[in-house]
Amino acid sequence: MGDSLKPSSSGSATGNPRNKAALKPGCSLMDWIRLGNSGVDLTGVNGVRRTVSKKELARHNKRNDAWLAIRGKVYNVTRYMEFHPGGEEELMRGVGIDATKLFNDVHAWVNYESLLQKCIVGSLGEADTEGAFIVPRTKSSSKLSAASGQNPAKKLIEQTRNISIATNAVWSSSDWFQQLTFICLIFYLKATVMQLHISLTEDSNLILKLNQALHNVKLESTVRWPCKVKLNPTVGKVELEFRKVESALWRTFGVLMKNVPSEIVSSSWKMTVIKSDSITHDTKILVLKYVDCVYNYVPVGCHVMFEAVIDGKVVERPYTPVVSVHPEYPVESSIECLNFMIKSYDNGLLSKWLCSLPTGAVVSVSAPLCVFNPSLLNGRKKLVILAAGTGITPMFSVINWAVHTSSQRLSVSVIFFNKSECDILWGEQLNKLMIDNERFKVENVLSNGSSSWTGKRGRISVEIVQSELPDRQNSGEDNPFTLICGPVNFNQTAESILQKLGYQHEDYYCFH
C-alpha cells in the first residue's frame, strides 16, 4: 500500500456481513491513527498510567466513558467507539470488564496494542486477569532426542527438556534442545501464529511475544544474532535456533521470567536503509534492516506504519512489506530485513522522502498491523485479485502464500490495471510465475498502453472483471473469493461491479 491510497474501513474479519458496521465518514483506520497522533489525550487520565482495580474498571462502562481490559492492560476506548469496524454495540460488550476472552473469541489476530497504544490507562490491578504469564513446571524431562541436523560422527550430546506449560499459556507445549554450537527453542501454539516478535538484548535477555503473550527468557549464556526462525503459522509451530557464542553444552536454556511488563516491547523500531533500487521510473525497492536485534513476523497481507518528521510535520503511512513470488527474483530474506516497494508520488510527502533516502539513513517502522486474515479464503477454490498500480504490493505476500504455501491448492488469477507498460510493477516476475505454475494467471490491462501493446486495454469494467469472475450464480464449483486493492475510486468501482455480479460481502475483501 502506498500513500496514494486513503484507507477507509470496509472489509470484514470473518466475512460475515451481519457483523459489519458502516462507519461514519472520518472514522476510517487512517482517521483513527491521525487522531492518535494529533496530541489529543485519548487516555482520559492525561496519560498518567495507574493501576486500575476491577471495581474501578466496572464503573467505566458507559458509551461516553468506556474502559476495557485486555491481557492485564486497561484501555480507554471512548474515542475508539465510532472507529471500531465491528460497531459500537459490539465494542460495548467488552466495556467495564476484562474483555480478553471476548476479544480473542472474535478476532484474536487484530493488533489491538498498536491501535490502542495512545489509549492506555494503566494495568489491571487484580491478580485474576486472563493474561498468559508462565509458571515454570517443576517436573521436567531430559532425554536424548533425534532432532534433525546433528552429526553423529561428532558425538554431540543433545538434551531436550520441557520449558514450561502454564494453564493459560499461549503455547500448549514447548521444548528445547541443544548441540555444542546452537540451542533451539520450540513452541507449539494453541492457535494460528498471528504475532511473533523476538528481540535480544546485550545481556542475553530474549523477549518473545507470541500472539500477544509476552515472555522473557534470560538465556544461560550468550548467543549470536540473527537467530533462525522456522514458522508454521497455521499449525502454530515456532522454532528458534540460536548460535552459541562459545561452543559448550548449557546446563539449562536459561530462566523464564514471570510477569513481563508489556512496555518491554516497543511499538516501533528504527530501521536502516541498506539498499534502494529503482524498479520503474518512479518506484523503488527499499531494503530496511532493524538497527537492534529485532525480528517481527509480518503475516500475509499485513502492513506496518512508517513514521517520519518531514518539514516539521509528522507523517505516517501504511506500507506492506513485499516478498518475491518467483525464486528467480529473490529479495532480501534475512529475518533482520523487510523489503518495501515505494512509489514516489508528486504530492506524496512521505513517499518522495522515502525514495530519496540514501543507504545508511534511519526510518521509524511500527509493529505489523493486521486487518486481513487468510482464513477468509477457507473453503474457496479460486482467488481473483483486482489490483491497480501500487495496489499490487499487499498482494505479493498473498500470492506467495496462495501459490507456494497454502494447502488449499487455490487457483489464482490476477487482473492488474496500470496506465502504461512502464508502470507494471514486477511484471516480469508475475509472468514467469504464470509460465511456471499452472495454478497462477496474470492479465495486465493498460489504460494508456503504447501502440505496440497487444494485451487488454481500458479501465476496470464489468466486462473485464467477468473474464475471470462469472456471475455469482454461474460460478459453480469455483466458489471464488476476490481481493481488491487500488486507489479509492478503483476500490469503489470494483466493489460495485462485484455486487452487480451478485457477489456478497463475504465473497471479497478490500485492502484500503
Stretch that binds ligand HEM, among 112-120, 151-159, 313-321, 358-366 (CB under 6 A): 112-120
Q: CB of 119: closest distance to ligand HEM in angstroms?
A: 8
| Cβ closest to ligand HEM, residue 72 vs residue 348 | 72
> Of the candidates 49, 54, 107, 275, which one interacts with ligand HEM according to CB under 6 A?
107
| Pairing mode of beta strands 50-52, 120-124 | parallel
Residue 118 is classified by DSSP as T
- Asked if 90 interacts with ligand HEM (CB under 6 A), we say yes
CA 31 to chain centre: 20
| Cβ closest to ligand HEM, residue 14 vs residue 437 | 14
- Asked if 11 interacts with ligand HEM (CB under 6 A), we say yes
CB nearest ligand HEM: which residue?
Answer: 86
- Asked if 88 interacts with ligand HEM (CB under 6 A), we say no
- Asked if 110 interacts with ligand HEM (CB under 6 A), we say yes
> Of the candidates 116, 194, 331, 354, which one interacts with ligand HEM according to CB under 6 A?
116
> Of the candidates 5, 8, 20, 501, which one interacts with ligand HEM according to CB under 6 A?
20
Question: Which residues are bridge partners to 223 per DSSP?
Answer: 244
DSSP 301-365: T-BEEEEEEETTEEEEEEEPPP--SSTTS-----TTEEEEEEE--TT-HHHHHHHTPPTT-EEEE
> CA-CA distances (angstroms) from residue 155 to 139, 141, 151, 152, 180?
28, 21, 7, 5, 10
Q: How far apart are CA 309 and CA 400, in angstroms?
A: 34
Q: CB of 125: closest distance to ligand HEM in angstroms?
A: 20
> Of the candidates 93, 270, 275, 289, which one interacts with ligand HEM according to CB under 6 A?
93
Q: CB of 183: closest distance to ligand HEM in angstroms?
A: 36
| Cβ closest to ligand HEM, residue 94 vs residue 449 | 94
DSSP 248-296: ---SSSEEEESS--GGGS-SEEEEEEEEEEESSSSEEEEEEEESSSEEE
Q: CB of 376: closest distance to ligand HEM in angstroms?
A: 8
For residue 407, what are the contacts with CB-CB under 8 A and spacing of at least 6?
A: 234
- Asked if 13 interacts with ligand HEM (CB under 6 A), we say yes
Does residue 173 sit in helix, strand or coil?
A: strand
Q: CB of 109: closest distance to ligand HEM in angstroms?
A: 8
What are the backbone dihedrals phi and psi of residue 178, each rounded to the nearest 5 degrees, phi first? -145, 160
| Pairing mode of beta strands 213-219, 65-70 | unpaired
Q: CB of 311: closest distance to ligand HEM in angstroms?
A: 31
Binding to ligand HEM by CB under 6 A, coded x per residue (else -) over 343-372, reads ----------------------------x-
Q: CB of 166: closest distance to ligand HEM in angstroms?
A: 23
Stretch that binds ligand HEM, among 9-17, 177-185, 381-389, 416-424 (CB under 6 A): 9-17
Q: CB of 393: closest distance to ligand HEM in angstroms?
A: 19
- Asked if 131 interacts with ligand HEM (CB under 6 A), we say no
Q: How far apart are CA 210 and CA 197, in angstroms?
A: 7
> Of the candidates 60, 73, 84, 382, which one interacts with ligand HEM according to CB under 6 A?
84
Residues 371-410 that bind ligand HEM (CB under 6 A): 371, 373
> Of the candidates 33, 73, 103, 256, which one interacts with ligand HEM according to CB under 6 A?
103
Neighbour order of strands in the sheet with 205-210: 254-257, 213-219, 205-210, 196-200, 294-296
- Asked if 117 interacts with ligand HEM (CB under 6 A), we say no
Stretch that binds ligand HEM, among 7-15, 202-210, 403-411, 472-480 (CB under 6 A): 7-15
| Cβ closest to ligand HEM, residue 86 vs residue 470 | 86
Q: How far apart are CA 243 and CA 247, in angstroms?
A: 9
| Cβ closest to ligand HEM, residue 110 vs residue 260 | 110
- Asked if 97 interacts with ligand HEM (CB under 6 A), we say no
Residue 81 is classified by DSSP as G
Q: Which of 401, 482, 493, 504 is nearest to 447 (CA)?
A: 493
Task: Give exposure, 415-439, as e/b (b: 16+ Cβ within 10 Å).
Answer: bbbbeebebbbbbebbebbbeebee
Task: For 430-477, give the secondary structure using H, E and C.
Answer: HHHHHHHCCCEEEEEEECCCCCCCCCEECCCCHHHHHCCCCCHHHCHH
> Of the candidates 30, 45, 81, 102, which one interacts with ligand HEM according to CB under 6 A?
102
Amino acid making up residue 299: P
- Asked if 85 interacts with ligand HEM (CB under 6 A), we say yes
Binding to ligand HEM by CB under 6 A, coded x per residue (else -) over 145-184, reads ----------------------------------------
DSSP 12-74: -SSS-GGG--PPPTT-SHHHHHHHHHTT---SSSTT--EEE-HHHHHH-EETTEEEEEETTEE
- Asked if 512 interacts with ligand HEM (CB under 6 A), we say no
* Contacts to ligand HEM by CB under 6 A: 11-14, 16, 19-20, 68, 77, 80, 84-86, 90-91, 93-94, 99, 102-103, 106-107, 110, 112, 115-116, 371, 373
